[in-house]
Amino acid sequence: MKKHNFYAGPAILPKSVMQEAAAACVDFNGSGLSVLEISHRSADFGAVMEEAEALVRELLGLGDEFAVLFLTGGASSQFFMSAMNLLASDAKAAFVNTGRWSDKAIVEAGQFGTVEVIASSEDKNYAYIPKDLAIPADATYLHITSNNTVTGTQYHSFPVTGKPLVADMSSDIFSRPLDMSRFGMIYAGAQKNLGPAGTTLVILRKDLLGKTERAIPTMLDYNTHIKKASMFNTPPAFPIYVAMLNMRWIKANGGVEAMAKRNAAKAALLYDAIEASPNFHCPIAKEDRSVMNAVFMPTDESRTAEFIEKAAEAGCIGVKGHRSVGGFRASMYNAMDIASVQALVDVMNAF
């Protein structure tokens, strides 16, 4: 039976990417060595790093003003690393709180400067994205979480800031085109929509650095990694290699523009089924519903386990909602085919 992987992460990858990565684990580029064991200083792996960066730049339309880094520590490390590098101790950062991950970023940034939460959707259990933001004139930057995997909300248009926009895009990077002139920095843990866990993509405007007047540990200083092209120390070679293969797949399948259409079709199919069913409902404001992570609830909570069992019987796994929210969650990243969403909808219709 085909398995339809709706887990939020580590998440689905294209089958062709996994097959190529698996082959490279045995013999990489005919070298007789595994991609897991080749030197990160070798010409073969240097070519991987160069192509990975080039694909990020091509897919997102990045200019030379942006640095592209492949780091470690996940997005959780970027919660503090971004503030450490961008926010002076006597300065202020503005934040929008849309759930679990932005809440964690707020706590970490507060260790390095003043944090002002200018808007929050906590009053309605994070079921919407706050609009009409009043950004303080003295804010260094505005931080948002573009897609919220736990609560199922997503920015479908980004705030006009007048300030550099810093975005945690862990779960919707490469899912749609971006106007990069709007952003000062984007960071994304790979394990949602880019590649396997182990590397973190950081894209930032180089002119934002060097203004905090604080001593930054070498490994936590973005300039360290810019100067060494993400190779200051041994990088997470295999996750970067698989992320490169995945970006090749995105490019070969029409780029982020095609991904946006593909993802919109999947989300429409599922949300329409939720709306049409007497057994489910979506608590999220319609205009803010995530294309990546659809959160929905049972009309009768006593049947939650029954539905999860029926879904599993049909090969639909990972539909249990986050423990802090309950209900159900279907994560539909780039690599998921619409046929998998249809399989889940068929279970819903038969339930």
**124-143 confidence digits (pLDDT tens):** 999 999 999 999 999 999 99
pLDDT digit string, tens, across residues 170-208: 999 999 999 999 999 999 999 999 999 999 999 999 999
pLDDT digit string, tens, across residues 24-46: 999 999 999 999 999 999 999 99
**Confidence tier at 1 by pLDDT (50, 70, 90):** confident
What's the pLDDT score for residue 26? 97
C-beta separation of 161 from 143 below 8 A: no
What's the pLDDT score for residue 318? 96
Q: Catalytic residue, from 168, 172, 221, 288: name it.
A: 168
Q: Catalytic residue, from 15, 104, 132, 192: name it.
A: 192
What's the pLDDT score for residue 66? 98
Say what the alpha-carbon torsion angle 286, 164, 60, 85 is, to the nearest 10 degrees: -120
Give residue 254's region: left, alpha or beta (phi > 0; psi -120 to 50). left
Distance CA 111, CA 303 (A): 44
pLDDT digit string, tens, across residues 56-96: 999 999 999 999 999 999 999 999 999 999 999 999 999 99
The CATH class given to the 255-350 domain equals alpha beta
Distance CA 266, CA 251 (A): 19
What's the pLDDT score for residue 324? 87
pLDDT digit string, tens, across residues 263-306: 999 999 999 999 999 999 999 999 999 999 999 999 999 999 99
* Residue ranges per structural domain of the chain: 15-252, 255-350
- Enter the pTM of the model: 0.96
168 catalytic per annotation: yes
* Peptide bond preceding 10 in cis form (omega within 30 of 0): yes
Regarding the domain delimited by 15-252, which CATH topology (the fold level of the hierarchy) does it fall under?
Aspartate Aminotransferase; domain 2 (3.40.640)
Tell me the HSE value of 131 on the side-chain side, using a 13 A CA sphere: 7
Statement: residue 258 has pLDDT above 90:
yes
* 219 contacts: CB under 8 Å, gap ≥ 6: 232, 233
Q: Catalytic residue, from 15, 64, 90, 101: name it.
A: 101
249 catalytic per annotation: no
Distance CA 23, CA 272 (A): 40
192 catalytic per annotation: yes
